Amino acid sequence: MRYVSQLFQPVITIPKGAKIKNTEITCKSQKLLLECGLVRPTSAGFFALLPLARRALDKLEALVIDCLEAAGAQRLSLPCLTSAKLWEASGRLADVGTELLKVEDRHGKKFLLAPTHEEAIADLLADVGPLSYKQLPLILYQITSKYRDEFRPKHGLLRSREFSMLDAYSVHRNAECANIVYGNVSNAYRDLFGKLELNVHRVKAPSGDMGGELSHEWQLPVSAGEDTIAICPSCSHAVLSEEKSVCEQCGKEMAGCNSVEVGHTFILGTKYSDPLKASFVPPEGPPTPLIMSCYGIGITRLLAASLEALSTEKALRWPRAIAPYSVIVIGPKEGSKEWSNAGKERADEISHQLSSVVGGDLLVDDRHPLTIGKRLMMADRMGYPSVVVCGRAATENPPRFELYRSGADAPVLLTADELIRTVRTDCSDDKRNKAVI
C-alpha cells in the first residue's frame, strides 16, 4: 500500500477568490496537472513528470504495448540522435528543418534529436538486409522521447518540445499486404481508444512532409484543440473541416468542433526505403524496395487530451484504466468519535483487505488530522475512480463503508464483503483493459 503522506506531490494551493494572471496556462488539463502536483514546467515546452503522472503514463504505455503486440508488432529501441545524413538522403532535412533540434559532436558530425524515425528504421533494415520475402510483413515499434522545436509551445503536454511517443513501422512486399497490415494496426488503435473510453475519430488527412500514399489522423474532440473536424450526428462519420458540411455517407448535415490529433497513420510506399536502400528479395528477381507504413501515437499528448476531454474545470477525471491509483481509502479524523470507536483500526483492516484485491493500485489517505470532508474533496479533485470512506457507519455492527465511484451521483453504503466484491468486479473489468501496476 502507498500512503498519501509519502507521495511526492507538490500541490499548488490557489487562495479562494484569487484571480489567476498567468497567461501561460491556456487549458484545463495544463492547469489541473500543475495545480494537483502531477507535472512541473522546467522551461518553455519542457516538463518534469512527477510520480502520479508517471504512474498514469506507465499504465497508458502498458495499454499501448498490449494493443500493438496483439497486432503482431515487436518492440525495439532506436537512439534519440539520428544522423543528419539520413534526413538529407530522404530529402526531409530541408523540408522540416525549422522544427528540428540539431546537435554536432566533437568530430563535426551532425545529428538530430529525432521527432520521428522513418529514416532510422529504413537505415536499420538496409543494414541487416535485404530481407527475405518470407520475413514479411514485419512490424517494429518503440516508445521513446521525441523532440520538436515548436515555435510557440502551449497547452502544456498537448504541445511541448519533448514528448513521449509510440512510433511503429511496418514493411511489406506489396501494396496489398501493406493495406491489410494498415487495417490491422488501425483496429489496434480502435481497441486502445475503446479501452480508454475516448470518442476518437479516424479522418482522412494530407500526408504533408511525411509523404506517402494514404494518411489518417486520429482526432479527439476537445475545446482546447487546435484542429477542427466535422462529425455527423447520425452516422458518426468525421472529416477534417473548418465549416459545417454534408456527410458523404448519409447526406446529413455535419457539425464542426475543435479537436486534438492523438495519432497519425501513413502508408509511405517507398519514399524512405528507396533512397536508403532498404529492400527485400522476392521469390524471383533482384532485391526490391520495401513498401513502408508508419503509425504514431503521442503518448503524453493522449494523456493530457484524455484529461482535457473528461475533466471538469475544477477536478481531474481519468479514463479508469490509467488513473494513477484505482482506489483510495479515507479513514476517520484523528480525535473524532469515529476515531475513538476503533474507526482507525477498521480503516486499516479494510485497506489490507482491498490491497489483496487491487494490489499496489491502492492508496491510503493517512492524513488523519484533516477532516474526512477535506480529504474527500482532495480525492475528488484528483479523480480517483473509487473512494472508500470509513466514517460513522464503519463503527456500526456490521460496519459499513461509503463507496464514491467516479461518475456516480451519490455514494453507496456497503458492508466489507459487499465492498470487496464490488471492487473485485471493477478490478476484473480493469484487467481486461490494463495491467495493474
Task: Give helix then strand counts, H and E, for the chain.
Answer: 11, 24
334/336 Cα distance (integer angstroms): 6
Q: Are residues 206 and 174 in the same domain?
A: yes
Q: Are residues 344 and 291 in the same domain?
A: no
DSSP 341: I
pLDDT confidence of residue 436: 31
pLDDT confidence of residue 204: 95
Q: Are residues 290 and 375 in the same domain?
A: no
The CATH number of the domain holding residue 338 is 3.40.50.800
Residues 6+ away with beta carbon under 8 Å from 356:
none
Label residue 435 by pLDDT band (50, 70, 90). very low
Question: Tens of pLDDT along 275-317?
Answer: 999 999 999 999 999 999 999 999 999 999 999 999 999 999 9
Q: Are residues 342 and 397 in the same domain?
A: yes
Nearest in space to 317 (alpha carbons), one of 304, 335, 299, 330: 304
Backbone angles phi, psi at 348, to 5 degrees: -65, -40
pLDDT confidence of residue 23: 62
Q: Are residues 259 and 389 in the same domain?
A: no
pLDDT confidence of residue 281: 98
Q: Are residues 379 and 299 in the same domain?
A: no
Label residue 40 by pLDDT band (50, 70, 90). very high
- Residue 221 inside a domain? The answer is yes
Q: Are residues 192 and 45 in the same domain?
A: yes
Q: What is the mean pLDDT of residues 342-366?
A: 95
For residue 207, CA distances in Å to 11, 65, 215, 258, 363 come to: 42, 25, 5, 21, 45
Q: Are residues 391 and 292 in the same domain?
A: no
330 contacts 354 by C-beta, under 8 angstroms: no
pTM over the 0.85 mark: yes
82/112 Cα distance (integer angstroms): 5
> What domain count does the chain have?
2
For the stretch 178-187, what's the b/e string if a residue is b when 16 or more beta carbons lie within 10 angstroms of its beta carbon? bbebbebbbe
165/296 Cα distance (integer angstroms): 7
416 contacts 393 by C-beta, under 8 angstroms: no
Domain encompassing residue 333 = 325-431
Question: Tens of pLDDT along 190-219?
Answer: 999 999 999 999 999 998 888 888 999 999
The CATH number of the domain holding residue 259 is 3.30.930.10
- Residue 436 inside a domain? The answer is no
- Residue 192 inside a domain? The answer is yes
- Residue 316 inside a domain? The answer is no
Q: Are residues 355 and 386 in the same domain?
A: yes
Q: Are residues 87 and 203 in the same domain?
A: yes
Nearest in space to 310 (alpha carbons), one of 178, 197, 195, 182: 197
Label residue 46 by pLDDT band (50, 70, 90). very high
Q: What is the mean pLDDT of residues 45-59?
A: 97
23/21 Cα distance (integer angstroms): 6
- Residue 317 inside a domain? The answer is no
Residue ending a domain, choose from 281, 310, 339: 310
- Residue 437 inside a domain? The answer is no
Q: Are residues 218 and 282 in the same domain?
A: yes
Q: Are residues 384 and 250 in the same domain?
A: no
Label residue 428 by pLDDT band (50, 70, 90). confident
- Residue 242 inside a domain? The answer is yes
pLDDT confidence of residue 365: 98
Using a 10 angstrom Cβ sphere, with 0-12 exposed, 13-18 middle and 19 or more buried, the burial of residue 24 is exposed
Residues 6+ away with beta carbon under 8 Å from 15:
none
CA angle 410, 415, 419 (to 5 degrees): 70
384/426 Cα distance (integer angstroms): 13
For residue 433, CA distances in Å to 60, 65, 190, 265 come to: 10, 12, 13, 23
Residue 49 has pLDDT above 50, yes or no: yes
Nearest in space to 3 (alpha carbons), one of 314, 288, 339, 348: 348
Residue ending a domain, choose from 310, 337, 362: 310
Residue ending a domain, choose from 277, 310, 343: 310
